[in-house]
Amino acid sequence: MSTIAADTKRHKDAFQALVEGNHADPFSLLGVHRSGNRRVVRTLQPHASRVEIVDAEGSVLSEMERAHAGGLFIGVLPPRKRHYLLRITNAGGDSYTIEDHYRFAQTLGDMDLYYLGEGSDKQIYEKLGSQVRTIDGVKGTRFAVWAPNAKRVSVIGSFNDWDGRRHVMRLHPANGIWEIFIPGVQSGDQYKYELLDSDGHLLPLKTDPYAYYHEAPPGNASIVFESTYEWQDQDWMNRRSSTPEMDGPISIYEVHLGSWRRKADDHNRYLSYHELADELVGYVKEMGFTHVELLPVSEHPFDGSWGYQPIGMFAPTYRFGDPDDFRYLVDQFHAAGISVIIDWVPAHFPRDEHGLRRFDGTALYEHEDPRKGEHADWGTLIFNFGRREVVNYLLGSALYWIREFHIDGIRVDAVASMLYLDYSREDGQWVPNEFGGNENLEAVEFLRTLNREVHGYGATSFAEESTAWPGVSRPIETGGLGFTFKWNMGWMNDTLSYMSEDPVHRKYHHDKMTFGLVYAFNENFVLPLSHDEVVHGKRSLLGRMPGDEWQQFANLRAYFSSMYAHPGKKLLFMGSEIAQSREWAHDQSLDWHLLQYGFHSGVQKLVRDLNHLYRSTPALHQIDFSGDGFEWIDWSDRDNSILSWIRRDSQGRHIACVTNFTPVVREGFRLGVPEHTQYREVLNSDSHHYGGSNVGNEPQHAEEQGAHGRPYSLVLTLPPLATLYLTPES
C-alpha cells in the first residue's frame, strides 16, 4: 500500500471530521507530518480540482492526491525540503499559489501565554486580535482570541470564501487561547470568527473583541488594520506627568462627534476625523477650552446609544474614518494645546449576537447569573470583574487608548452601577457579596487597579459617579478608589433645579445653591453640565430657564458665570455655549444658524470670555479642592436671592463674585471686601456685549466701612439676573 493510501486509511475518521468542520485540532493533521518513513503534506482545499506542492520558483515537487471527496489532498514532500508552496487549481481552471498556513509553528511564546493566562499582560492588544506580522520572511496576519469553552474556532473572511473549515485555529488548552498565522492576509481584509460550542453547535458569527477596526453595519466584520501613522506630538507626550496638575485650569468641551456639525449640503453626512481636525480643533481653541471630551468613540452598533453600548473596545468607530484618521485628530488637538479625554465604558456591553454575549457558548465576559450579569434598565450585560481574563481585557482597552492613541484622560461612565450589587434592583434581584453587603468588591478592586495603571502612564481619570460613595477621587492608599476627578452630580442637579424656579420663588430654594459648598472639598470635583442634562425631555439648558426670552438668556448667562467662579473644574456640553433652544439630537447638527441672533451669539461670547478669564486668573482655578481657595462673603441673603463669595489663589490674591438671581436691579448694594483698594469689574454677564441690559459699575475704591464681617466695602449696582467678577487693582 502506498504512503498516501496508508495515510488516508489511518486517518479516515479524522479526515471526515476535517471536511465536516468538526475537528478541534487540525494542526495535528494538516501541514507537514511524518507518515511512516516519509513526510507528507495534507491540505484542505474544498474548491480545488488540483493541488500541487511547488518550490519558490514554481517547480512541481509533488502532485497531491485527493484523499477525500470533500477536498482533502495529500502529497509527499521530498527529502530535505522545508519550505514549500501550494499551487491550487480551481474547477474553472484558474491557478494561484499560496503559503500553507498549517506549516507555521505557534506564534505566541510561552511567556506570552503565561501572562495572558495569568491576566497580567498590560499590552494584551498586541497579543490577541489581528496582528500583521512577517514570519520566516512571509507577511501575513496572526489571529488570536480567547474562547476556552469552544470546540472549534476558525477565522473566516473573503480570503477563504468565509469557509470555517479552511482556517481552524490552534488551541492552547492551558488558557483557552486560539491562534493562527494566515499568510497573505493584510491590512484592510475583513474577517470574523466562527465558533462551535462545546457540544459542536455553530454559534452566531462573532466580531473580534480585540479588533482595531470594524466594518459598518449590517456586515459587522472586523477589519485587519496596521497603523502607519507618524505622531507629531512628542513634546506634548514628554510633558505628560504621572502626577496630575490639580492646580491648573480645566475647562472641558464635551462633544458628540456625529452631531457637532454635519455636511447639510452633502446628504447631512458626518464630518470625518480629518474634517473635525480642520473645524472642531480650531473652534475649541478659539473658545478657550483646555480639554475636549469625546462621547465614546469606541465602536458601537447602534447610533442611538451615543457610544455608551460599545462592542469594539479597541476600535475607534468607522463612522468618521479609520484608526489612523482618529490618531490625526488627537495629534491636531495636541498641536493646539488641547488635552483629549474620551468617555470609556467598562460597566456593561450590548446583547448583540455578533458581540461578546456568550462568546464561546458560555457566559465568558458576563456573569451567568442574571442577578449579577444583567442591567435591566439598559437591556445590557455586566462584565464579570471577578474573572482575571475579563479584567485584563478591560485594562488592556484603557491602556490601548492611552498608549496607542495618546489619549490624555478617560471618563469612566456609570461608575455607580459598577460599585453597587443592588444598583437599580429590588430585593431578591441581587446577590450580596461575601460579607453580606451590597458593595461589588470585585468592581472596586478593578477600578483601583485601573486608576493605578492610568496614572502610571501619565493620564487622568474621571468618574461619573452619582452616589455618596466615599473617596472616589481619593488615593487608593487611604481607602479611596483612586480617580483623579469625580463629576459633581449633586451640584448639577441642585443648581439646575434652582435655576428652573421662577425668580420670585427662588428664595424658598436658596439652599440648593449653597449646599454644594458643604461637601465641595470632599472630592476633586468637576462641575458637569453634560449631554445627559439636555435630552430625554429635560429640555435644553436655555429651555429650563424661566421667564420671557430676555430673562431666559440672562438667567443662563448668570448661571454660567456663577459656575465658572465656583470651586471645581468645568465641563460644558456642546451646543450649550450657543444657548441652543431645542434638546440635543444625536442625528443632526447643532443649530449653528442661531448665532445670527444677538442673544445666542452673546452667550457664545460670554463662554469664550469666561474660559479665557478662568485660565488667566489663578484665583479661579488654582485652589479648587481645598477651603483655602474659597470663602463666603454672604450666603444667607435668601430674601434677595443674592450670593457673594471670594476665590483666592496660592499667593493670596483674590477675586470677588456676586450673583443676583432676580430680575430686580439692586441699587446701593453694599458688598464687604478684604482690601482697601480700587476694585473693577472684570466680568459682567449683563454687559451689552453678551446681550444684557448693560447695568454695571465703574471702578471704585473700597470704603472704610465694614460689611459682611470685612473691614471694607463697595457700594454696587447689581444688574438683573447677572453675575459680577470684581478684582482689586493692587
pLDDT tens readout for residues 519-542: 999 999 999 999 999 999 999 999
Model pLDDT, residue 80: 80
pLDDT at 1 over 70: no
Domains 110-223 and 627-728 agree in fold:
yes
Residues 343-358: pLDDT tens digits?
999 999 999 999 999 9
Contacts of residue 617, Cβ cutoff 8 Å, sequence gap at least 6: 655, 682, 727
609-668 pLDDT tens trace: 999 999 999 999 999 999 999 999 999 999 999 999 999 999 999 999 999 999 999 999
Segment among 241-255, 452-466, 704-718 with least mean pLDDT: 241-255
State the number of CA atoms in the 13 A half-sphere of 78 facing the CB.
Answer: 13
Report d(CA 350, CA 356) in Å as an integer: 8
Compute the average pLDDT of residues 167-185. Answer: 95
For the stretch 7-58, pLDDT in tens is 778 888 899 999 998 888 999 999 999 988 889 999 999 999 999 999 999 9
Q: Which pLDDT value is given to residue 7?
A: 78
Active site residues: 413, 464
Query: What kind of architecture, by CATH, is found in domain 627-728?
Result: Sandwich (2.60)
The rounded mean pLDDT for the chain is 95
DSSP 593-661: GGGGSHHHHHHHHHHHHHHHHHHH-GGGTSS-SSGGGEEEEES--TTTTEEEEEEE-TTS-EEEEEEE-
**pLDDT digits over 478-492, tens only?**
999 999 999 999 999
Share of the chain above pLDDT 70, in %: 99
Specify the pLDDT at position 377: 87
Element (H, E) at 371: helix 370-373
Q: The domain 3-103 belongs to what CATH superfamily? A: Immunoglobulins (2.60.40.10)
Residues 110-223: name the CATH superfamily.
Immunoglobulins (2.60.40.10)
Name the packing angle between helices 12-20 and 3-10 (round to 10°): 70
Is the pLDDT confidence value at 393 over 90? yes
Give SS3 for 510. coil
- Average pLDDT of span 663-692: 98
Domain ranges of the chain: 3-103, 110-223, 244-618, 627-728
Q: Are 682 and 727 in contact (CB under 8 A)?
A: yes
Q: What was the pLDDT predicted at 564?
A: 98
pLDDT at 620: 98
554 pLDDT band, cuts 50/70/90, is very high
CA atoms within 13 A on the CB side of 277: 17
Given pLDDT bands bounded at 50, 70 and 90, which one contains residue 242?
A: low
Average pLDDT over residues 369-374: 92
Query: Given a cut of 80, is residue 386 above it in pLDDT?
Result: yes
Residue 414: DSSP 8-state: T
Asked whether the CA dihedral 144, 146, 149, 155 is positive or negative, the reply is: negative
| Segment 585-598 mean pLDDT | 97
Whether the predicted pLDDT of 241 surpasses 80: no
pLDDT surpassing 70 at residue 184: yes
Please compute the mean of the pLDDT values over residues 702-724 and round it to a whole number. Answer: 97
Distance, CA of 154 to CA of 163 (rounded, Å): 9
The mean pLDDT value for 664-678 works out to: 97
Residue 180 scores a pLDDT above 60: yes
Domain 244-618: CATH architecture, name and number where available: Alpha-Beta Barrel (3.20)
Residue 460 grid coordinates: 487622568
